[in-house]
């Protein structure tokens, strides 16, 4: 059963302690329609709440991944082994993307550099630099990503559960 | 400044440890286009990771109008309005809790019941039950919400 999109609104109290409230909405609408509903909902909450309703909200839209191929877990996989990429946007600013569970076979022997000639590493870099023909990744400020500064293996403690 | 959307891909490794990666994408496209990109990105990520991809999502940012006024002195995130809403499918519900609920003015005296006759509360319930004319809320599985069954104030310690 598919999971519906979810709108999240943050409210802070007089001590500036934050809390969130969420509501699900059906799929099949445009982003503009969701934005209108979210605005209506946030204002309806503001009318019954005493806290500061954050004027910025978010919506999470689940994506169906049932069509992925080869989507199984490797017995040696470890989220602490990270493929760390740093890209550069059109403003010259760095954009970091980290992929957990790096396959160590993709690391150039004797270095921590990733084998960018590997077909799958190269495909990932191309997807980030040029997109999929419709959507091209960008920085947080929407500057287009243009090149790769580095691609290397890093090891990072996964720490506490993050979600 | 507009803020880019986020494509998030969730993964787990052989020890069942969870992690994720995020890729930002520009505003101005439609959900179908973002969905296709997210699926392409999930496949590309899977191809270089030994983890299993457990989920993917698109994160959209909204900016609301008419909001952002300072919290009142009595605002406390532990004071919540709790709503349990029945969906059109028997046995399926949605639960909402609204932090910093105005319990001094919107609760029926001597009870923990929310005053559903109050104009602002009634407007909120109508929005949840029937929507804004275009979008009507639903439960987690997309079932239409039809009736608020429980509405009461709660005091729940926050985790901060």
User: Is A72 contained in some domain?
Assistant: no
- What digits encode the pLDDT tens for the residues A79-109? 999 999 999 999 999 999 999 999 889 999 9
User: Is A47 contained in some domain?
Assistant: yes
Among all residues of chain B, which has the CA nearest to that of A58?
A: B61
A102 and A144 assigned to the same domain: yes
How many structural domains does chain B have?
Answer: 2
User: Is A54 contained in some domain?
Assistant: yes
Instruction: Describe the strand order of the beta sheet including A81-89 as a list of residue ranges.
Output: A94-100, A81-89, A145-155
**Dihedral sign of CA atoms B34, B40, B44, B47 in order:** positive
How many structural domains does chain A have?
Answer: 2
Would an 8 Å CB–CB cutoff place A151 in contact with chain B?
no
B83 and B150 assigned to the same domain: yes
The complex's ipTM works out to: 0.92
User: Is B73 contained in some domain?
Assistant: no
User: Is B135 contained in some domain?
Assistant: yes
B83 and B145 assigned to the same domain: yes
- What digits encode the pLDDT tens for the residues A107-133? 999 999 999 999 999 999 999 999 999
A107 and A45 assigned to the same domain: no
H or E stretch including A21?
strand A18-24
**What's the domain range around A16?**
6-60
**What's the domain range around B10?**
5-59
User: Is B44 contained in some domain?
Assistant: yes
B32 and B84 assigned to the same domain: no
Contacts of B74 in chain A (CB under 8 A): 14, 50
**What are the tokens at B45?**
């990520």
Q: Chain B interface, mutation test: which of A3, A63, A85, A107, most B Cβ atoms within 10 Å? A: A63
User: Is A73 contained in some domain?
Assistant: no
Alpha-carbon span A92 to B148, nearest angstrom: 52
User: Is B74 contained in some domain?
Assistant: no
A37 and A90 assigned to the same domain: no
Query: What's the start-to-end Cα distance of chain A, in Å?
Result: 22
User: Is A160 contained in some domain?
Assistant: no
B85 and B17 assigned to the same domain: no
pTM: 0.92
% of chain B with per-residue pLDDT over 70: 97
Taking only the tens of pLDDT, chain B with its 160 residues reads 567 999 999 999 999 999 999 999 999 999 999 999 999 999 999 999 999 999 999 999 999 999 989 999 999 999 999 999 999 999 999 999 999 999 888 999 999 999 999 999 999 999 999 999 999 999 999 999 999 999 999 987 765 5
B115 and B148 assigned to the same domain: yes
């Amino acid at each position: 059963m598919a999971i519906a999109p979810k709108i999240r609104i943050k409210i802070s109290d007089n001590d500036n302690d934050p809390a969130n409230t969420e509501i699900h909405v059906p799929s099949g609408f445009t982003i503009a329609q969701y934005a209108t509903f979210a605005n209506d909902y946030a204002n309806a909450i503001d009318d019954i709440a005493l806290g500061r309703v954050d004027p910025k909200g978010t919506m999470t839209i689940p994506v169906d991944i049932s069509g992925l191929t080869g989507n199984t877990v490797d017995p040696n996989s470890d989220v602490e082994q990270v493929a760390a990429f740093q890209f550069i946007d059109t403003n010259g600013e760095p954009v970091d993307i980290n992929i957990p569970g790096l396959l160590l076979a993709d690391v150039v022997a004797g270095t921590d550099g990733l084998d960018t000639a590997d077909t799958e590493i190269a495909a990932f870099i191309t997807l980030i630099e040029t997109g999929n023909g419709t959507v091209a990744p960008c920085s947080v400020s929407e500057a287009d990503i243009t090149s790769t500064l580095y691609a290397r293996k890093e090891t990072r403690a996964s720490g506490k559960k993050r979600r | 400044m507009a803020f880019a959307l986020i494509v998030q891909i969730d993964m787990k490794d052989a020890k069942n440890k969870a992690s994720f990666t995020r890729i930002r994408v520009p505003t101005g496209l439609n959900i179908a286009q973002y969905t296709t990109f997210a699926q392409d990105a999930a496949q590309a990520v899977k191809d270089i990771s030994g983890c299993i991809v457990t989920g993917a999502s698109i994160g959209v940012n909204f900016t609301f109008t008419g909001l952002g006024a300072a919290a009142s002195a009595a605002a406390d995130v532990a004071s919540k309005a709790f709503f349990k809403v029945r969906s059109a499918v028997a046995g399926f519900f949605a639960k909402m809790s609204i932090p910093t609920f105005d319990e001094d003015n919107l609760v029926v005296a001597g009870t923990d019941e929310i005053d559903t006759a109050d104009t602002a509360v009634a407007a909120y319930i109508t929005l949840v039950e029937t929507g804004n004319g275009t979008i009507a809320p639903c439960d987690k599985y997309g079932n239409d919400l039809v009736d608020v069954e429980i509405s009461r104030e709660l005091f729940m310690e926050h985790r901060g």
